[in-house]
Structure 1
Amino acid sequence: MRKPNRLANYDYKTSGAYFVTICTKERANILSRIYVGKAALCLPILELSNIGRITEKYINNINVVYDGVTVDKYVIMPNHIHLIIIIDNYGRQRAAFPTLSDIVRSIKILVRKETGKSFFQTSFYDHIIRNEQDYLKIWQYIDTNPAKWSEDRFYIE
């Protein structure tokens, strides 16, 4: 039996910040590639594939699809995506507001519609960001993720 990924009895329409990870099917490296730059610092360079660029387009337009939802930070790694999604439903009708699952599903569906193929795993990982310290730690993790790709738990050559 599959373990549920969502926190039981938590309302994922609740205003707040969420750390989300979406993986490709079979962890296929199809979204981007990371290589060492040639500059003095040898910083990693992340180059999006066509599928990665399409995915980025829909990540950047999520606030158009859902009023009150923004993606505050993200990185598109070769076989997964990390995002900080902010839901602000203050002053809005709660019943009509999307859940975190609705938001992630819409990104996957829009990519599938444009490409004609499903690239992502059915589910996703989430973490409810509880305070500013938690937020800053996750923001830093996302920001430095390309530099640590070979150490990443999702790393596959």
Structure 2
Amino acid sequence: MNRPDRKQNRLNGYDYSRDALYFVTSCVKDKVCCFGEVIDGEMQLNEYGYIAEQQWRLLEERYSYVILQAYVVMPNHVHAIIEIDRDSVGTGRDLSARRQTDETNAVAFPNPKVKPLSELIGVYKTSTSKLIRTAGLDDFAWQRSFHDHIIRTDKAYYQIRDYILTNPERWAEDVFYQ
């Protein structure tokens, strides 16, 4: 079966498991507004929106090298800055789960295999989908893939962070997501 050529989503040749800051956006299939609503410029999450937010936070708890920066769950999409940082391993979060001893009985922290960004987002979308369907939204689905942007400068970081944090204030004018 011949399939039409699809636009490549990721930067060709880039290692998405390397330490970096990534701006990601994932949309609900068909832009269905199922996570809540924006009232007076503030996002009001419903039951499904709380699941989406909780599962996002769990990425940081589950993967020692993930640091969540700014994020927002909107009615039909999620914007976030996620950081992969191997140096954060062994700095305080869930040390007991990573503690091992070497032959001298000294405490050592194993170098974890770092999931690339696409696998982290895949974990997020899969767990969120299962929980939202279990909670009663049987036909919930994410749009295929996600948008990403590698953040390379402080200026870009602050612009993107501001965009994320003020996203609910601009919802009424956001024709792309509505």
Quote the RMSD (CA, aligned, Å).
Answer: 1.6
**Structure 1 stretches of 4+ moved >4 Å:** none
Checking the alignment, whether the CA contact within 8 Å between 1:27 and 1:154 is kept in structure 2 is: no
AA of the residue aligned to 1:141? Y
Alignment correspondent of 1:122:
144
> 3-state DSSP class of the match of 1:8?
coil
- Which deviates the most, 114-123 or 4-13? 114-123
**Is 2:156 the partner of 1:152?**
no
CA distance in 1, matches of 2:162, 2:132: 31
Alignment correspondent of 2:102:
none
- Which deviates the most, 73-82 or 145-154? 145-154
* Unaligned 5+ runs, structure 1: 37-43
- Cα shift at 1:119: 2.2
Aligned ranges for residues 2-151 of structure 1 at < 5 Å? Answer: 2-36=6-40, 44-90=41-87, 93=111, 96-116=113-133, 117=138, 118-151=140-173
Q: Which has the larger radius of gyration?
A: 2
Checking the alignment, whether the CA contact within 8 Å between 1:82 and 1:142 is kept in structure 2 is: yes
Aligned residues: 148
Report sequence identity in percent: 37
- Cα shift at 1:122: 1.9
- Cα shift at 1:150: 2.1
- 1:17-42 C-alpha deviation (Å, 9 max, x unpaired): 00000000011111120122xxxxxx
TM-score normalised over the length of structure 2: 0.78
CA distance in 2, matches of 1:141, 1:115: 27
Checking the alignment, whether the CA contact within 8 Å between 1:58 and 1:107 is kept in structure 2 is: yes
CA distance in 1, matches of 2:70, 2:20: 14
- Cα shift at 1:153: 4.3
- Cα shift at 1:49: 1.8
CA distance in 1, matches of 2:72, 2:115: 23
Change in CA separation of 1:141 and 1:59 when aligned onto 2, cut-off 3 Å: same
